[in-house]
């Protein structure tokens, strides 16, 4: 019952935010995804090289499939299209809550729920965009983490290992950046159970992964394996590699929060204060009273966070500034990192609260309250009066943007 109440509250705030800012933030990519849905509605289901936004972006096609359903329910408007990121973010919220409650504590689950309910403005804004390859990764990774923990704790893990492999293959088709999560999970599992590598669960995991990769293989055959080019943007080792790693954590992560956008120094200071408080809360995991469960898969969270900055620094990607109201687009690649960082904070809260000393509990609650208050303040600043809400219900012309080939050349 408590989970249901949290979901209802979360949806209420997400709808409020979507209605407030949804019509102000519209990108070419998501209109393209809407075009896929429009085509499916008019001409039926089809699967081909002219559907995905890019050869590696399977998530854009999946978003288009979902858009066909939301258009049928709500009409050809922005609200119908932006229901898709709302569904993905709500799914991520629910999976994180179940994972933390089952394998850690109700306290950590509630803390994570609060942090996702009132996240920094960056996460609030990106959760309104139907890109098909950024916000959606938060759901894919949360589910993957839950499946790892579920498999490790199962008495008969073969079937669950098969499902985990299937999910991993499909997720890699959906978005290539899922590969980083696979790397983190692989390192974790290799360290945990290397001696079991030839047993049946590993065979089931591998088989499921190959089956899940079938859509990826189909698209790449149609595209002459151009989908592999995205991986060519990684593996570089620029001379400023260490500088890029340092700037990632020291400059970009604080600025990405989006607090007080409009003045760079104000953004950085507000973001830095937020993450310093987050780090203080995280230190609660070292309080002796907390007991992390052996098979929770929590090591994947730490490994993923440690790998993220070096992986980005060793790529040809960069953060290119974009002006308001779409300034958050600059840091869209950080979308999957945010829930991992907030999960660490939630585990720290569990440590503070589980302490037997009242003073330690109070400190933990106060630190968490500061983070939630900052997120709430940032959320309220995004809201508009009801008179400005109707923009997302205006009819959107998904047929008048040229054919797929023209749009691909345009971008």
Q: Which residues contact 253 (CB under 8 A, 6 or more apart)?
A: 271, 275, 334, 337
Q: At what angle are helices 158-174 and 136-153 packed, to 10 degrees?
A: 160
Terminal CA-to-CA distance of the chain, rounded, Å? 47
- What's the sign of the alpha-carbon dihedral 296, 299, 301, 302? positive
Residue 84: the pLDDT is 94
Residue 357: the pLDDT is 77
| 402 has pLDDT over 60 | no
| 48 has pLDDT over 60 | no
With beta carbons less than 8 A apart as the criterion, state whether 124 and 80 touch.
no
Residue 182: the pLDDT is 94
Please, is 230 exposed, middle or buried when counting C-beta atoms within 10 Å of its C-beta (0-12, 13-18, 19+)?
middle
| 195 has pLDDT over 60 | no
Residue 339: the pLDDT is 95
Give φ, ψ of 365 to 5 degrees. Answer: -65, -40
- Check residues 102 and 283 and name the one with the higher pLDDT: 102
Tokens of 130: 């139907």
Residue 292: the pLDDT is 54
Residue 149: the pLDDT is 92
With beta carbons less than 8 A apart as the criterion, state whether 368 and 117 touch.
no
In terms of average pLDDT, the best of 77-86, 221-230, 324-333 is 77-86
DSSP secondary structure of 335-366: TTHHHHHHHHHHHHHHHHHHSS-HHHHHHHHH
Mean of pLDDT values over 89-117: 94
- Check residues 134 and 406 and name the one with the higher pLDDT: 134
Residue 34: the pLDDT is 87
With beta carbons less than 8 A apart as the criterion, state whether 129 and 30 touch.
yes
With beta carbons less than 8 A apart as the criterion, state whether 140 and 133 touch.
no
| 411 has pLDDT over 80 | no
Instruction: Tell me the pLDDT tens digit for each residue of 322-377.
Output: 766 667 788 888 999 999 999 999 988 888 887 767 888 888 889 899 999 999 98
Please, is 60 exposed, middle or buried when counting C-beta atoms within 10 Å of its C-beta (0-12, 13-18, 19+)?
buried
Please compute, for residue 186, the number of CA atoms within 13 A of its CA located in the half-sphere on the CB side. 11
Residue 397: the pLDDT is 59
Q: Which residues contact 208 (CB under 8 A, 6 or more apart)?
A: 161, 162, 163, 164, 165, 166, 167, 168, 169
Cα 377 from Cα 204, distance rounded (Å): 47
What's the chain's average pLDDT?
Answer: 82
DSSP 8-state assignment for residue 128: T
| 181 has pLDDT over 50 | yes
- Check residues 48 and 364 and name the one with the higher pLDDT: 364
Mean of pLDDT values over 158-166: 93
| Range of lowest pLDDT (61-70, 159-168, 259-268) | 259-268
Residue 178: the pLDDT is 93
With beta carbons less than 8 A apart as the criterion, state whether 367 and 1 touch.
no
| 308 has pLDDT over 90 | yes
With beta carbons less than 8 A apart as the criterion, state whether 290 and 350 touch.
yes
Residue 321: the pLDDT is 73
| 381 has pLDDT over 60 | yes
Mean of pLDDT values over 247-251: 91
Cα 246 from Cα 229, distance rounded (Å): 27
Buried-state track 193-218, b at ≥16 Cβ within 10 A, e below 16: eeeeeeeebbebbeebbeebbebbee
Cα 399 from Cα 34, distance rounded (Å): 9
- Check residues 289 and 307 and name the one with the higher pLDDT: 307
With beta carbons less than 8 A apart as the criterion, state whether 115 and 372 touch.
yes
| 261 has pLDDT over 60 | no
Please list the residues that pair with 395 across neighbouring strands: 77
Residue with tokens 């047993």: 199
Of the chain, the percentage scoring pLDDT greater than 70 comes to 82
| 232 has pLDDT over 80 | no
Distances (CA, A) of 136 to 103, 132, 273: 23, 6, 27
| 192 has pLDDT over 70 | no
Instruction: Tell me the pLDDT tens digit for each residue of 119-159.
Output: 998 898 899 899 888 899 999 999 999 999 999 888 888 89
Residue 326: the pLDDT is 66
With beta carbons less than 8 A apart as the criterion, state whether 310 and 180 touch.
no
pTM: 0.89
Mean of pLDDT values over 254-265: 72
Residue 403: the pLDDT is 46
Please list the residues that pair with 77 across neighbouring strands: 395
Of the chain, the percentage scoring pLDDT greater than 90 comes to 32
């Amino acid at each position: 019952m408590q989970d249901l109440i949290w979901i209802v509250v979360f949806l209420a705030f997400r709808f409020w935010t979507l209605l407030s800012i949804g019509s102000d933030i519209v990108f070419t990519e998501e209109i393209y995804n809407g075009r896929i849905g429009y085509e499916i509605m008019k001409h039926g289901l089809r699967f081909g090289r002219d559907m995905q936004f890019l050869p590696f972006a399977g998530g854009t096609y999946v978003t288009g499939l979902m858009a066909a359903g939301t258009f049928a329910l709500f009409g050809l408007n922005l609200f119908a299209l932006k229901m898709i990121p709302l569904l993905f973010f709500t799914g991520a919220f629910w999976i994180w809550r179940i994972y933390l409650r089952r394998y850690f504590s109700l306290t950590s689950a509630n803390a994570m729920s609060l942090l996702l309910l009132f996240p920094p403005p960056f996460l609030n804004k990106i959760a309104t965009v139907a890109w098909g390859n950024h916000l959606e990764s938060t759901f894919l990774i949360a589910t993957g983490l839950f499946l790892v923990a579920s498999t490790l704790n199962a008495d008969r893990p073969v079937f669950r290992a098969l499902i985990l492999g299937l999910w991993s293959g499909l997720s890699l088709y959906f978005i290539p950046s899922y590969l980083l999560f696979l790397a983190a999970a692989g390192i974790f599992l290799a360290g945990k159970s290397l001696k079991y590598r030839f047993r049946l669960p590993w065979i089931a995991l591998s088989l499921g992964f190959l089956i899940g990769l079938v859509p990826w293989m189909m698209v790449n055959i149609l595209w002459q394996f151009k989908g592999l080019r995205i991986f060519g943007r990684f593996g570089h080792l620029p001379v400023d590699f260490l500088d890029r790693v340092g700037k990632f954590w020291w400059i970009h992560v604080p600025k990405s929060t989006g607090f007080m956008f409009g003045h760079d120094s104000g953004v950085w200071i507000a973001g830095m204060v937020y993450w310093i408080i987050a780090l203080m809360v995280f230190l609660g995991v070292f309080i002796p009273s907390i007991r992390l469960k052996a098979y929770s898969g929590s090591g994947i969270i730490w490994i993923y966070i440690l790998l993220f900055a070096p992986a980005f620094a060793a790529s040809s990607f960069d953060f290119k500034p974009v002006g308001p109201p779409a300034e958050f687009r600059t840091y869209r690649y950080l979308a999957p990192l945010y829930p991992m960082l907030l999960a660490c904070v939630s585990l720290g809260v569990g440590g503070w609260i589980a302490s037997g000393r009242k003073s330690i509990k109070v400190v933990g609650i106060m630190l968490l309250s500061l983070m939630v208050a900052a997120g709430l303040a940032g959320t309220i600043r995004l809201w508009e009066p009801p008179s400005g809400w109707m923009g997302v219900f205006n009819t959107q012309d998904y047929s008048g943007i040229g054919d797929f080939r023209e749009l691909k050349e345009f971008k």
